[in-house]
Chains A and B, each alone.
Chain A
Amino acid sequence: MESNTFLYKSIRDLSKRIQKKEVKPSEIGKYFFNRISLLGPELNSVVSLLPELAEKSWDSADKQNEIKTILHGIPYGIKDLISVSYKDTGLSNIDSPPTTWGAKPLANQKFEGTATIVKRLNRDKAIPLAKLAMVELAGGLGYKQPNASLTGPGLNPWDTSRWTGGSSSGSGAAVAAGLVPFALGTETWGSILTPAVYCGITGLRPTLGLVSRNGAMALSWTLDKIGPMCLTADDCGIVLNSISGYDPKDSSSSRKRFSYDPEFKITNKPKLAIIKGILETCDEDVKDNFNASVEILSKFTEIEEIDLPEYPYEIVTRIILFSESTSAMEDFIDDDLAQSLTAPEDRFSIFPRTLISAKDYIKALRMRKVIMGIVSNIYKQYDAIIAPTKPSTAPPSEGEFRGSVRSGYDPMGSIGNLTGLPAISVPNGFGKQDNLPTGFQIMGQPFSENLLISIAKEYQNVTKWHLEHPKKYSGG
Chain B
Amino acid sequence: MSNDKVVNNSYELLKSKYSNSFENDAKKDIEDIISQLYEISETLKKYKLDHDIQPFNAKPLE
Chain A positions within 8 Å of B, measured between CB atoms, are 142, 222, 311-312, 315-316, 318-319, 322, 333, 336, 338-339, 344-345, 347-349, 351-357, 360, 362-370, 372, 404-405
Contact between B56 and A365, CB atoms less than 8 A apart: yes
| Bound-complex Cα distance A369 to B51 (A) | 12
Contact between B21 and A222, CB atoms less than 8 A apart: no
Contact between A366 and B26, CB atoms less than 8 A apart: no
Chain B residue contacts of A322, Cβ below 8 A: 37
A346 → chain B closest CB, angstroms: 11
Chain B residue contacts of A360, Cβ below 8 A: 40-41, 44
| Bound-complex Cα distance A357 to B18 (A) | 18
Consensus secondary structure, chain B interface:
helix
Contact between A351 and B49, CB atoms less than 8 A apart: no
Chain A residue contacts of B44, Cβ below 8 A: 312, 315-316, 319, 360, 363-364, 367
Contact between A363 and B22, CB atoms less than 8 A apart: no
Consensus secondary structure, chain A interface:
helix
Contact between B49 and A222, CB atoms less than 8 A apart: no
| Selected A-B contacts with CB under 8 Å, 18 pairs | A311-B47, A322-B37, A336-B20, A336-B21, A338-B22, A348-B21, A348-B22, A348-B23, A349-B29, A352-B30, A354-B14, A365-B55, A366-B56, A367-B47, A367-B49, A368-B56, A404-B29, A404-B36
Using an 8 Å CB-CB cutoff, how does the interface string of B28-60 with A read, 1 for contact, 0 for none?
A: 011011101100110110010100011111000
Chain A residue contacts of B22, Cβ below 8 A: 338-339, 347-348, 351
A246 → chain B closest CB, angstroms: 13
Chain B residue contacts of A356, Cβ below 8 A: 37, 41
Selected contact of B10 from candidates A336, A355, A364, CB within 8 Å = A355
Of listed B18, B29, B33, B57, residue having the most chain A CB within 10 A: B33
Chain A residue contacts of B20, Cβ below 8 A: 336
Chain A residue contacts of B10, Cβ below 8 A: 352, 355
Contact between A355 and B49, CB atoms less than 8 A apart: no
Selected contact of B21 from candidates A312, A339, A365, CB within 8 Å = A339
